[in-house]
């Protein structure tokens, strides 16, 4: 496909060529049903089962979330390398069948706490594989910055529609059936996703050019270390890795405590877990729409940090109150901000990553995020004992606010220089001149010709974090 051929004034599901439009429609529909099933299942099917059906406490919830995060990491690592090896068409089919099998297994084992742990492990691995789909697939369709931004906004928009519908469906199922039954809804959704997903085809093919990141690298070509090599060979990807990781470290405390917050602080039942999640999805629809019309010049790391700051503010409003209506307002703001954050982050990753490593880079980012969740998961029960459930969640929300604010203040000049450089490259036509299989968008940035030294390249802030699979909802 010819780069830069997008019709800039067009909106909706209409892109530069009919072939691209057709593939995007298939991709968006398939991803929607995958995500719909997962959003219906995880929070209510796992945390709702433990908290409301089995009377589990913080410890059991923390084990479940920790096990889920670990298995998601395993799935992401294997899934990223597998995507780079077999391509998007076959990969999607394997991801869908994996979710179908995990949902059926949960019906058999999810009747005891130990069985829930087993079901969580299998679900986590299959979801880790499936999570590669929305983050990596757009790069197989186009290298155009504006098209990528619009595709990612559509992914987020439909994802938030799933967040609205899925928890409502899950809450309705929980009213008339055991909470484990919500996983049957996931089975049905994953099966439906195969209808549009069966015809997904790559419109761009990766090529490993002379001097590329894979050539001469010590990292095995099929390993996640190749993804980390690409991340730390790029100024932009390095900043994205640390900023998002550190910002969302606080959310690692949310999953083991959030259901208890509903029960003990807000004084509401399991169905409200679905209603508030759905409200976050409503806000997410607005956030994704905003991201979809955002001018390409605002797709940069400074905008990303500002949006992260707003996300933290929304999370604080959500957990710092005993009143359910105020919590609703916080969830809505959280949904708006996080859904604007997603397309910006994913677009930046896609345009600064060689296509032949897109799966492994996303796997490396996801692995870093979820492995970092071990710290807040280990600390959450002890902190909840000292500070209480709400006090711990408020402290976690403060962390989400402080990190992007600190980076904006302390690294403001470097970030400004990086944004100016990106805008200059875009104006000079770097996005249109990227290679079909190499780094695209704003130039090589160390990905195709070796690392580029700069103030952000070797940035090491020395802390880890967690982006929990269910946060923000």
- Residues 220-230 have pLDDT tens digits of 455 667 788 88
Assigned domain for 342 exists: yes
Q: Please tell me the least confidently modeled range out of 101-105, 238-242, 293-297, 442-446.
A: 442-446
The answer to whether the beta carbons of residues 99 and 127 sit under 8 Å apart is: yes
Phi-psi region for residue 445, left (φ > 0), alpha (ψ -120 to 50) or beta? Answer: left
Asked whether 147 and 3 are in contact (CB, 8 A), the reply is no
- CA dist 64 and 116 (Å) reads 8
Identify the residue whose tokens are 């992914």.
Answer: 155
Given this model, what pLDDT does residue 302 score? 87
| Contact (Cβ atoms closer than 8 angstroms) between residue 352 and residue 236 | yes
Q: Which residue is listed with tokens 């998601």?
A: 72
Q: When comparing pLDDT for 296 and 12, which is higher? A: 296
Lowest mean per-residue pLDDT among 184-188, 199-203, 378-382: 378-382
Residue keyed to tokens 């949310």: 254
Q: What's the pLDDT at 310?
A: 92
Q: Report whether pLDDT(460) > 50.
A: no
Q: Which of 431, 373, 377, 414 is nearest to 246 (CA)?
A: 373
- Pairwise CA distance, residues 263 & 209, whole Å: 56
pLDDT given at position 376: 72
User: Is residue 153 assigned to a domain?
Assistant: yes
- The domain containing residue 311 runs over which residues? 18-205+213-433
Region 446-467: mean pLDDT is 30
When the pLDDT of each residue in the chain is averaged and rounded to a whole number, the result is: 76
Q: How far apart are CA 233 and CA 447, in angstroms?
A: 6
Q: At what angle do helices 358-371 and 324-351 cross, to 10 degrees?
A: 140
Q: What is the per-residue pLDDT for 459? A: 26
Q: How far apart are CA 329 and CA 234, in angstroms?
A: 38
- 452 domain-assigned: no
Using CA atoms, how far apart are residues 185 and 52, in angstroms rounded to an integer?
Answer: 20
Q: Which pLDDT belongs to residue 192?
A: 95
Sorting pLDDT into bands at 50, 70 and 90, what band is 391?
confident
**CATH number assigned to the domain comprising residue 99:** 1.20.1250.20
For residue 28, the model assigns a pLDDT of 93
Percent of the chain with pLDDT over 90: 11
CA distance 210 to 154: 35
Query: CB-based burial of residue 426 (10 Å sphere; 0-12 exposed, 13-18 middle, 19+ buried)?
Result: buried
**pLDDT 10s digits, 245-286:** 887 777 766 766 777 888 888 887 766 766 777 787 788 888
In angstroms, the CA 354 to CA 447 distance is 7
> Residue 465 domain-assigned?
no
Instruction: Tell me: pLDDT of 45 over 50.
Output: yes
pLDDT digits (tens, 9 = 90+) for 304-360: 889 989 988 998 998 888 888 888 898 899 888 888 888 888 888 888 888 888 888
Contact yes or no for 393/254 (Cβ under 8 A) = yes
CA angle 280, 283, 284 (to 5 degrees): 85
List, for residues 61-118, the tens digit of each pLDDT value: 778 877 887 888 888 888 888 898 888 999 999 999 999 999 999 888 888 888 889 9
Residue, of 43 and 397, whose pLDDT is higher: 397
pLDDT computed for residue 96 by the predictor = 94
The token duo for 101 is 């099998």
pLDDT at 2 over 70: no
**Is the predicted pLDDT of residue 469 greater than 80, yes or no?**
no
- Per the structure, the count of domains in the chain is 1
Q: What is the pLDDT of residues 416-456, one digit of tens each?
A: 777 777 666 666 554 444 443 444 444 444 333 333 333 22
Six token digits for residue 375: 């710290």
Residue recorded with tokens 């910006």: 344
2 domain residue, yes or no: no
Residue 466 falls inside a structural domain:
no
CB distance 318 to 471 below 8 Å: no
pLDDT of residue 468: 36
Answer yes or no: is pLDDT of 159 > 50: yes
- The whole-angstrom distance between residue 435's C-alpha and the CA centroid of its chain comes to 26
Mean pLDDT throughout 112-138?
A: 89
CB-CB contact of 168 with 42 (8 Å): no
Q: What would the two tokens of residue 65 be?
A: 């979330």
Domain presence at residue 48 = yes
Mean pLDDT of 175-198: 89
Report the pLDDT averaged over residues 292-311: 85
For residue 222, what pLDDT is reported?
A: 54
Least-confidence region, from 56-65, 114-123, 252-261, 369-378: 369-378
7 Cα distance to chain centroid: 28
As a dihedral over the C-alpha atoms of residue 306, residue 311, residue 313, residue 318, rounded to 10 degrees, the angle is 170
Q: Percent of the chain having pLDDT more than 70?
A: 78
How many angstroms separate the Cα of 86 from the Cα of each of 80, 134, 205, 227, 378? 10, 16, 12, 17, 37
pLDDT score at 104 = 93
The band of 458, judged by pLDDT with boundaries at 50, 70 and 90, is very low
Q: Is position 388 within any domain? A: yes
Residue 155: pLDDT over 70: yes
SS3 letters for the chain? CCCCCCCCCCCCCCCCCHHHHHHHHHHHHHHHHHHHHHHHHHHHHHHHHHHHHCCCCHHHHHHHHHHHHHHHHHHHHHHHHHHHHHCHHHHHHHHHHHHHHHHHHHHHHCCCHHHHHHHHHHHHHHHHHHCHHHHHHHHHCCCCHHHHHHHHHHHHHHHHHHHHHHHHHHHHHHHHCCHHHHHHHHHHHHHHHHHHHCCCCCCCCCCCCCCCCCCCCCCCCCCHHHHHHHHCCCHHHHHHHHHHHHHCHHHHHHHHHHHHHHHHHCCCCHHHHHHHHHHHHHHHHHHHHHHHHCCHHHCCHHHHHHHHHHHHHHHHHHHCCCCHHHHHHHHHHHHHHHHHHHHHHHHHHHHCCCHHHHHHHHHHHHHHHHHCCHHHHHHHHHHHHHHHHHHHHHHHHHHHHHHHHHHHHHCHHHHHHHHHHHHHHHHCCCHHHCCCCCCCCCCCCCCCCCCCCCCCCCCCCCCCCCCCCCCCC
């Amino acid at each position: 496909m010819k780069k830069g051929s997008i019709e800039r004034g067009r909106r909706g599901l209409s892109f530069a060529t009919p072939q691209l439009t057709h593939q995007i429609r298939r991709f968006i529909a398939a991803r929607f049903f995958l995500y719909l099933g997962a959003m219906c299942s995880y929070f209510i099917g796992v945390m709702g089962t433990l908290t409301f059906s089995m009377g589990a406490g913080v410890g059991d919830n923390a084990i479940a979330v920790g096990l889920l995060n670990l298995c998601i990491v395993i799935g992401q690592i294997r899934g990223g390398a597998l995507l780079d090896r077999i391509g998007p068409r076959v990969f999607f089919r394997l991801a869908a069948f994996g979710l179908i099998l995990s949902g059926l297994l949960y019906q058999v084992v999810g009747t005891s706490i130990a069985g829930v742990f087993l079901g969580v492990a299998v679900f986590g691995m299959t979801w880790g594989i499936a999570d590669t789909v929305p983050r990596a697939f757009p790069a197989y369709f186009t290298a155009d910055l504006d098209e990528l931004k619009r595709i990612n906004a559509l992914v987020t928009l439909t994802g938030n529609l799933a967040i609205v519908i899925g928890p409502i469906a899950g809450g309705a199922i929980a009213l008339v059936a055991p909470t484990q039954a919500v996983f049957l809804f996931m089975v049905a959704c994953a099966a439906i996703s195969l209808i549009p997903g069966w015809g997904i085809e790559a419109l761009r093919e990766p090529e490993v050019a002379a001097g590329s990141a894979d050539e001469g690298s010590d990292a095995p070509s099929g390993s996640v270390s190749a993804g980390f090599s690409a991340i730390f060979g790029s100024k932009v990807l390095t900043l994205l890795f640390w900023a998002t990781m550190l910002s969302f470290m606080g959310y690692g405390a949310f999953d083991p405590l959030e259901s208890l917050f509903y029960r003990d602080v807000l004084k509401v039942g399991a169905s409200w877990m679905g209603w508030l999640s759905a409200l976050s999805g409503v806000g997410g629809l607005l956030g994704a729409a905003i991201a979809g019309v955002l001018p390409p010049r605002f797709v940069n790391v400074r905008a990303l940090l500002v949006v992260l700051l707003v996300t933290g503010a929304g999370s604080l409003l959500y957990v710092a109150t005993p009143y359910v209506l105020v919590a609703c307002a916080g969830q809505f703001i959280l949904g708006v901000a996080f859904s604007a954050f997603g397309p910006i982050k994913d677009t930046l990753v896609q345009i600064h990553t060689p296509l032949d490593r897109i799966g492994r880079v996303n796997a490396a980012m996801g692995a870093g995020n979820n492995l970092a969740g071990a710290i807040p998961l280990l600390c959450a029960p002890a902190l909840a004992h000292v500070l209480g459930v709400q006090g711990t969640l408020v402290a976690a929300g403060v962390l989400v606010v402080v990190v992007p604010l600190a980076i904006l203040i302390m690294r403001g000049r470097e970030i400004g220089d990086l944004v100016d450089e990106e805008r200059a490259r875009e104006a000079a036509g770097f996005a249109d001149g990227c290679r079909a299989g190499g780094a695209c968008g704003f130039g090589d940035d160390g990905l195709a010709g070796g690392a580029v030294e700069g103030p952000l390249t070797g940035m090491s802030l020395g802390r880890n974090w967690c982006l929990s699979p269910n946060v923000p909802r």
